[in-house]
Chains A and B, each alone.
Chain A
């Protein structure tokens, strides 16, 4: 984007502003106060609220000027405007006065109070006396689900909610109703909001119409929250969050601006999925460690409990939801040969392919995605597995309309104008999936195929590309001819052919193409095919090589990948090793790993084989209940660490609040254990050179505990050459004052525990902390990682404009993003390479008359931690299965009918496994006969390939199922109630921790 700066005069003071954005954005980027409602930095201008009026003068001589709306006025060279001008400022005040004719006076009970954009703007305009004497209009509110509250009387009709929900995020179940001053924003009828982005309404709404229901149920004012910069732990995008807590319980998650990643929006999983931190299933006490003191667990207790494991060999299973530090620590504690990421064989193959792709191709950020003009999504439902990415993809599709508008001189920030010009015009999006996705409505072509067939299509597409390198395929006809030649070998259907041809044609016109795939399908062939496709793009070819994103499932999947090597074990290998009589393992350490994919049999087997089972986790699961030792681990809000996102970007999450001991970060536990069990460190480099890495390590007992993340990093850096530099040494930097976690309006720490003691409690101290547990310290905006957004006069999250270099730009204090190197050493292990055999076997499977069942991903439930949130459980849907029309006809079932679906399969050992599911059936027209998908998972050992029979369910079966299903809903509701009751009790009793670190020495 060619940035052009011009001089304009605001109240006779010259400013340099960019001509790329509108006048309001320019004014705000100069940190001048100009109120607004309907404009949004990322959604552009529509000129509805008329709040940002300024006076524009024709020239120096013009004294009268005319009122213009800054948000719909372009910045032009030499323009003269006045914000202070009487006519304009009176008009702005009058606009607020007009809005206030209907806005209720319920600020004391409004969840938005204290961070209300409407309050801020009212004060900013100076409106303070009410002249309107009439009655106010009233509305009925709607039940919009468990996440977002609705209070329509507060609405000032800025239209931001519908512009976000419908226009920006593509929601279908929300809208504007009525007219005149009776405009209603809501659903056609009450019900759960269906969009994955509904929570953003809370931040988008300038006042309290849409509120965070979970926050409201255990409410505190924004200024009493203690917040810290965090990173979302629910998917691999790595959205930046500001998490707020009070009295030791997490209250809410807000978006934290990061121009490269999430910008102003996050998904509902990120916003509401934090419930697991306060959840009932949390592990709060250590198990299997004798505690000396009745009060607290000490390091001595731990040392004693582990003393008989001194220098014993464990197998460690890391996890993609544990921090980079913890995984790295575990690997070096048990040794590379005994470390497993908890992946099965198939997943290890995927991981091997994934590391290769990560090493060779740098994945674009979300901001880059929004510049793409061609997107091809392959076998990954990003709308559910990485929703924020899907939102960016939606924005990229608007580039075609932006270009069309630019041609007639309409800039992209003129939102409504661009939408008028664009109509239904979208940049091309192609989607090749096994399930329907929420992006289908905006895709040019969406094809549903079983995964094997997808790999075939990709192979054909690669061949087409390679053909294009040799002979020129320079028109649409040539593409079709070339395809026709190729498919003779590959046997593709007409739909598949035309799909591939369309992609090729689309790519020829694209300047910034992007391919997105993922690992949900656990199919290494797909990634290998994509790698081949990427290598088929030749620089001399007329087609621009696309950028590539591979979406892994978890917040730290890529971090985990980065420490894998040729020795890393798959879960099958772990089981084998444990049973190997030649190797005498002391046991198994599970680091934040629930091993979700293991069948009950495998779990039993695992338990039997492991002499000692040590589980480090924050929430209870199948393995924690059968473990010998359970160590309670800090959840993301309770500790420090790093996650690595899908690009390889390492981001630190900062402790929001000190957990109650013995809960501490995994790496602290490992550090405590490491003292006793011993850790493996490389021998000095001169000794090690030329040796096999196995021989180059020695086991040492680590003597000094790492008291802080900084110390841990220092230890890693000093000991391990491969540890990436993520935190600069503290001693190098001049001693800087830390940033306050609390707002400086926090209701006084003297009052915090007044019901327990009138003595003023000292604030919690923490070593090497960049943030203080206090309202003292530097203000939030002084940090690159702002705990919360606040500026004088700007109490809402909209304050962020005060801390950006320009609107939608970088933060003023932005620090350089850190990308960690990805090692491809895992590919040296031949077991994880793809062989021709594996391809054939998949082909054989297809030949057998089997059907592929795919478990459709869901934003609430496809990530384990988030799925524990009771509010999500309360919105769970009953079973649905989607089948082909022909199959439905054969089975004699119709859309919406309750059916009994029986899945069966024979595994290698010829055991017949079968599962019967009561489900509602839905028909998808373009679904192949050999593919079905649904919202329920098949039990192990049933794999994707099954035989399926569908028949109408009898009434009794349906009644039983629904009763069971409703029990689940009621249990979730009860769980929500219990949590709330417990939290409200804790509010009264939680002691302030004087020191936030690990366990005491004892």
Chain B
């Protein structure tokens, strides 16, 4: 992964990444680490908040909410205020389970000290004395390396009592998740951290006001946090200058699927899809043609050829009907069945539904049932109506959290861009991408027994 990082010079997030052997505390400090935290501790929390606010940093977890704004909802108290809660919490959301996304893993395994430093800055700003890294259960290596970094930070007084002689005290813990996709939702994550069922909470109250154990809590994505040391160290102007024409800062983009060079690349915000797909991922593998892609993980809408010149920032991608999400492309080629791909994704979402609200709990398995029949060549033309209805049924506002609307995004866009594939499955009674299947429903001319052409869906 790290090998494929581009020649681009400004890559603050990944500059210290070493997957073989992450920098030790001393090496990290020598390289310029913990300077951002030092700057932060020299300022008042309010000043740091202003810096983060003005930097224009947006959340890298998928929603793109301005980080400083999120923090500003945390109630701040004077010393000795009777209403002050006994604690506040900072949580790093490292439960990276979005299919096709592996950017946080790079940062967690390659530069654990960077996250520790970032969490000190964030926790200091919001006045939290306890931080948790909610880590995806399968990230064993990351858990080990993070714990090592935390231990080193304790030894060097970057964690614990009175950090670096300041009056600020902070404890940091790694919490290994038991493994549910829904834990990526911040309130479900908090419930899981409390030892409860990982079900998203009702909002309000928002975690900023009443989060972990009922106390003010901020949950930030790993990549978001990792920007902080650099912003503090290098200043707002520097950060905004990284990507002058787009959202501030740099971002880790990735690609997977049948591209020549799947991987991760830290780029200034806003490269076009085409750049990432062809310049960095090297384009499609030999003999395959591009059909479409999910721009930011499994829960985003398909984009196709016509969208390839869209810059990958939050607003531009939204304008063409999808979401930037995590910035990890999942690329679909012309030898794989779009129906099968959507079915596979839908299975994932049905499996990962927390089971709280009806549309998601019972709607996603229903969609799986219908898609499965279509894929098996047993679909009916009415099934397309059922799918359309289910897309509406699980849409935003009708569900308890964003999981089901996210699950619907690839389906509804597939119905739009790959409609002919669906029709062909139903009419021919088979999946033509699956060479072992034969048409059942009707006589099909030899010519049509082949996958649809690249442009067929458009």
Bound: A292/B218 CA distance, A: 87
Contact assessment for B205 and A180 in the assembled complex, using a CB-CB cutoff below 8 Å: no
Within residues 368 to 386 of chain B, which ones have a CB less than 8 A from any CB in chain A? 369, 373, 382, 386
Contact assessment for B369 and A68 in the assembled complex, using a CB-CB cutoff below 8 Å: no
Contact assessment for B358 and A420 in the assembled complex, using a CB-CB cutoff below 8 Å: no
- Chain A contacts of B214 at CB under 8 A? 420-423, 425
B111–chain A nearest beta-carbon distance, Å: 33
Nearest-neighbor residue (CB-CB) of A95 within chain B? B358
Pull 5 A–B residue pairs with CB atoms less than 8 Å apart, ordered by A.
A48-B400, A98-B361, A179-B353, A179-B354, A180-B351
Within residues 293 to 321 of chain B, which ones have a CB less than 8 A from any CB in chain A? none
A68, A101, A181: the one contacting B353 at CB < 8 Å is: A181
Contact assessment for B358 and A176 in the assembled complex, using a CB-CB cutoff below 8 Å: no
Contact assessment for B355 and A178 in the assembled complex, using a CB-CB cutoff below 8 Å: yes
A46, A53, A183: the one contacting B355 at CB < 8 Å is: A183
B205, B357, B359: the one contacting A417 at CB < 8 Å is: B205
**With an 8 A cutoff between CB atoms, is A94 at the interface?**
yes
1/0 per residue A812-838: CB within 8 Å of B? 000000000000000000000000000
**With an 8 A cutoff between CB atoms, is B80 at the interface?**
no
9-residue interface stretch from B196-204, B333-341, B424-432: B196-204
**With an 8 A cutoff between CB atoms, is B440 at the interface?**
no
Contact assessment for A182 and B393 in the assembled complex, using a CB-CB cutoff below 8 Å: no
1/0 per residue B364-407: CB within 8 Å of A? 11100100010000000010001001000100011110000000
Contact assessment for B213 and A423 in the assembled complex, using a CB-CB cutoff below 8 Å: yes
A46–chain B nearest beta-carbon distance, Å: 7
Contact assessment for A98 and B393 in the assembled complex, using a CB-CB cutoff below 8 Å: yes
**With an 8 A cutoff between CB atoms, is B180 at the interface?**
yes
- Chain A contacts of B351 at CB under 8 A? 180
Contact assessment for A94 and B397 in the assembled complex, using a CB-CB cutoff below 8 Å: no
**With an 8 A cutoff between CB atoms, is B76 at the interface?**
no
- Chain B contacts of A102 at CB under 8 A? 362
- Chain A contacts of B398 at CB under 8 A? 50, 53, 67, 91
Within residues 111 to 155 of chain B, which ones have a CB less than 8 A from any CB in chain A? none
1/0 per residue B185-222: CB within 8 Å of A? 00000000000011001111100011001100000000
- Chain A contacts of B198 at CB under 8 A? 179
Bound: A447/B399 CA distance, A: 47
- Chain B contacts of A49 at CB under 8 A? 357-358
Nearest-neighbor residue (CB-CB) of B395 within chain A? A67
Bound: A555/B79 CA distance, A: 56
Contact assessment for A410 and B357 in the assembled complex, using a CB-CB cutoff below 8 Å: no
Identify the 10 closest CB pairs spanning chains A and B, nearest first. Answer: A423-B214, A134-B369, A98-B362, A183-B355, A180-B353, A421-B210, A416-B202, A417-B202, A179-B355, A94-B393
* A98-B359 contact in complex given A50-B399, A53-B398, A417-B202, C-beta closer than 8 Å: yes
Contact assessment for A50 and B357 in the assembled complex, using a CB-CB cutoff below 8 Å: yes
A201–chain B nearest beta-carbon distance, Å: 19
**With an 8 A cutoff between CB atoms, is A31 at the interface?**
no
- Chain A contacts of B366 at CB under 8 A? 98, 101, 132, 134
- Chain A contacts of B386 at CB under 8 A? 131
**With an 8 A cutoff between CB atoms, is B171 at the interface?**
no
* A180-B365 contact in complex given A48-B400, A67-B397, A98-B359, C-beta closer than 8 Å: yes
Contact assessment for A180 and B355 in the assembled complex, using a CB-CB cutoff below 8 Å: yes
Within residues 135 to 184 of chain A, which ones have a CB less than 8 A from any CB in chain B? 156-157, 159, 176, 178-183
A934–chain B nearest beta-carbon distance, Å: 34
A651–chain B nearest beta-carbon distance, Å: 39
A131–chain B nearest beta-carbon distance, Å: 6
Bound: A989/B366 CA distance, A: 52
Bound: A159/B354 CA distance, A: 13
Bound: A409/B209 CA distance, A: 12
Bound: A157/B353 CA distance, A: 13
**With an 8 A cutoff between CB atoms, is B254 at the interface?**
no
A134–chain B nearest beta-carbon distance, Å: 4
Nearest-neighbor residue (CB-CB) of A53 within chain B? B398
- Chain A contacts of B255 at CB under 8 A? none
- Chain B contacts of A183 at CB under 8 A? 355, 361
Give the most central of A68, A91, A95, A181: most B CB within 10 Å.
A181
B197, B209, B369, B400: the one contacting A176 at CB < 8 Å is: B197
Bound: A98/B394 CA distance, A: 11
A107–chain B nearest beta-carbon distance, Å: 19
User: Residues of A at under 8 Å CB distance from B?
Assistant: 46-51, 53, 66-68, 72, 91, 94-95, 98-99, 101-102, 131-134, 156-157, 159, 176, 178-183, 405, 408-410, 414, 416-417, 420-423, 425
A81–chain B nearest beta-carbon distance, Å: 14
- Chain B contacts of A417 at CB under 8 A? 201-205
A166–chain B nearest beta-carbon distance, Å: 11
Bound: A67/B359 CA distance, A: 14
Taking A48-B357, A95-B359, A179-B180 as given, write out 9 further A-B residue pairs in contact, using a Cβ cutoff of 8 Å, ordered by the A residue number.
A98-B393, A159-B356, A179-B197, A179-B198, A180-B361, A416-B202, A417-B201, A420-B201, A420-B214
Bound: A823/B446 CA distance, A: 102
- Chain B contacts of A68 at CB under 8 A? 397
Bound: A66/B398 CA distance, A: 10
B356, B358, B369: the one contacting A132 at CB < 8 Å is: B369
Contact assessment for B201 and A416 in the assembled complex, using a CB-CB cutoff below 8 Å: yes
Contact assessment for B358 and A157 in the assembled complex, using a CB-CB cutoff below 8 Å: yes
Bound: A91/B400 CA distance, A: 14
Bound: A57/B180 CA distance, A: 37
- Chain B contacts of A47 at CB under 8 A? 202, 357, 400
- Chain A contacts of B98 at CB under 8 A? none
- Chain B contacts of A95 at CB under 8 A? 358-359
Bound: A421/B216 CA distance, A: 10
B347–chain A nearest beta-carbon distance, Å: 11
A424–chain B nearest beta-carbon distance, Å: 8
B399–chain A nearest beta-carbon distance, Å: 7
Nearest-neighbor residue (CB-CB) of B201 within chain A? A420
Nearest-neighbor residue (CB-CB) of A132 within chain B? B366
Bound: A409/B210 CA distance, A: 12
- Chain B contacts of A176 at CB under 8 A? 197
Contact assessment for A420 and B361 in the assembled complex, using a CB-CB cutoff below 8 Å: no
Contact assessment for B204 and A410 in the assembled complex, using a CB-CB cutoff below 8 Å: yes
* A66-B397 contact in complex given A134-B366, A408-B209, A420-B214, C-beta closer than 8 Å: yes
- Chain B contacts of A53 at CB under 8 A? 398
- Chain A contacts of B353 at CB under 8 A? 179-181
**With an 8 A cutoff between CB atoms, is B273 at the interface?**
no
**With an 8 A cutoff between CB atoms, is B352 at the interface?**
yes
Nearest-neighbor residue (CB-CB) of B211 within chain A? A420
- Chain B contacts of A408 at CB under 8 A? 204-205, 209-210
Contact assessment for A157 and B355 in the assembled complex, using a CB-CB cutoff below 8 Å: yes
Bound: A98/B370 CA distance, A: 13
**With an 8 A cutoff between CB atoms, is B110 at the interface?**
no
Nearest-neighbor residue (CB-CB) of A422 within chain B? B214
1/0 per residue B319-339: CB within 8 Å of A? 000000000000000000000
Bound: A159/B202 CA distance, A: 15
Give the most central of B202, B204, B209: most A CB within 10 Å.
B202
A84–chain B nearest beta-carbon distance, Å: 18
**With an 8 A cutoff between CB atoms, is B363 at the interface?**
yes
Bound: A91/B393 CA distance, A: 7
Bound: A414/B350 CA distance, A: 28
* A133-B204 contact in complex given A98-B359, A157-B361, A176-B197, C-beta closer than 8 Å: no
Contact assessment for B350 and A181 in the assembled complex, using a CB-CB cutoff below 8 Å: yes
- Chain B contacts of A51 at CB under 8 A? 358
Bound: A413/B272 CA distance, A: 48
Bound: A408/B393 CA distance, A: 32
- Chain A contacts of B363 at CB under 8 A? 98
Nearest-neighbor residue (CB-CB) of B385 within chain A? A131
Bound: A408/B362 CA distance, A: 34
B183–chain A nearest beta-carbon distance, Å: 11
Bound: A452/B61 CA distance, A: 64
Give the most central of B198, B356, B373, B397: most A CB within 10 Å.
B356
Bound: A420/B400 CA distance, A: 16
- Chain B contacts of A416 at CB under 8 A? 201-202
Contact assessment for B205 and A101 in the assembled complex, using a CB-CB cutoff below 8 Å: no
